[in-house]
Structure 1
Amino acid sequence: MDRTYPPINNLLEQAAHIVRSQKKAARTLEPTESYKRGETEELIKFANANGLWISLSDLKVEFLSKGGENEVYTGDNDDIVVKLNNFEYAGDDLENFFIRIAAHNKFFSNVPYQMIGFAYNSQQEFCAVLIQPYILAEREATEDEIATHMQALGFEMDYYDEYHNSDYEVFDAVPNNVLYGIDGDLYFIDTQIRLRS
């Protein structure tokens, strides 16, 4: 597998398929809370079989910050950020993570995620390794700018940081997760997205 120039989301799609297959197999045998464990085991097998382990030292990145689910690093040329995502916000089912990333890339395609492999973070948690363009920002977006943008995408506001359309809920759309770029565009770099129940 050539990770130097992979097709966009190819690895993401393969990993999502593995998770969905594991979930279908486990659905009749196990309670929901054990989905994540089985899905993680299958992704580790997939990483081992395909040489998908990422070494941060090989990527030549420097630590930037840590949030609830991501350790964030910046690349050598400051043109990308690398995020080690520990699946914390996926809940008991990793499929939620893949739904969120695919929806993010659909709605916020000017700052897409690309999955390049797997790693263990500084806490030794199994993680997806994602890259995203590094955004040159003039400032954080305002709540009004975020609301206007989300409404233009067909979302209705529920609260100042939560929106929905017929299929998805977007939340944590707060100024520090949405940047106002030097080009005048908004960049939603770290919101949460889930399917509407």
Structure 2
Amino acid sequence: MSNNDTRSKLENIINGTILEGEADNCTAIRNLLCTSFKTSTTVKRDFESKSIIKKEQAEFLKRYGSKNNLWVTDLPDETTFLAKGGEASIYFNGANNSVIKLNDAIYYATWLEFFNSLVIHNLLFADTAYTFLGF
């Protein structure tokens, strides 16, 4: 992918443009949030005022998760625990030699910002892309 393609995709993500042609759950949920809630860039002073939107998005995502069978019922066993950071607990998944991150999105003002960060990570670091397993 050229630098211009990457730049264009980043601008689309930041501007709240629907991303066409992507089939992964991260992008699908991000697009759904973009069409269902007002998109905006957030600066630190707006963080607390966004908590109402984040709660509305959480309820929306709960309904979406139930409707689309995206509830993870088999959480990782404590024996596979690797580390805990500021926003995620990380577990080893021996079945496919990967890790599972349980993230509460505490550092994001809205759930859209969280999913934007996943989509941006996947764009920039395709070799270590996230796969969204569920809520």
The two structures have a TM-score, normalised by structure 2, of 0.66
- Matching residue's letter, 2:35: S
Task: Extract unaligned runs of 5+ from structure 1.
Answer: 1-7, 26-30, 119-197
1:23 paired with 2:37, answer yes
Can you list the C-alpha shifts for 1:145-166, whole angstroms capped at 9, x where unaligned? xxxxxxxxxxxxxxxxxxxxxx
Change (3 A) 1:66 1:56: farther
Secondary structure of 1:116's counterpart equals coil
- Matching residue's letter, 1:85: N
What residue in structure 2 maps to residue 104 of structure 1? Answer: 121
What residue in structure 1 maps to residue 26 of structure 2? Answer: 12
- Matching residue's letter, 2:51: E
Number of residue pairs matched? 104
1:115 paired with 2:132, answer yes
1:53 paired with 2:71, answer yes
1:75 paired with 2:89, answer no
Change (3 A) 1:56 1:62: farther
Displacement of 1:69 after TM fit?
0.8
Distance of 1:9 and 1:64 partners within structure 2: 30
Given the alignment, which residue of 96, 103, 116 partners 1:85?
103
Given the alignment, which residue of 57, 62, 67 partners 1:39?
57
Flag the structure with more relative contact order, 1 or 2, with Cα contacts below 8 A and sequence separation at least 6: 2
Can you list the C-alpha shifts for 1:60-87, whole angstroms capped at 9, x where unaligned? 6711111111011101246110001111
Can you list the C-alpha shifts for 1:131-189, whole angstroms capped at 9, x where unaligned? xxxxxxxxxxxxxxxxxxxxxxxxxxxxxxxxxxxxxxxxxxxxxxxxxxxxxxxxxxx
- Matching residue's letter, 1:109: A
What residue in structure 2 maps to residue 65 of structure 1? Answer: 83
Displacement of 1:55 after TM fit?
2.4
Change (3 A) 1:75 1:9: farther
- Matching residue's letter, 1:67: G
Q: Specify which structure has the higher proportion of helix.
A: 2
Moved over 4 A (4+): none
Distance of 1:101 and 1:54 partners within structure 2: 18
Q: Tell me if the contact between 1:18 and 1:43 (Cα under 8 Å) persists in the aligned partners.
A: no
Displacement of 1:9 after TM fit?
5.5
The two structures have a TM-score, normalised by structure 1, of 0.47
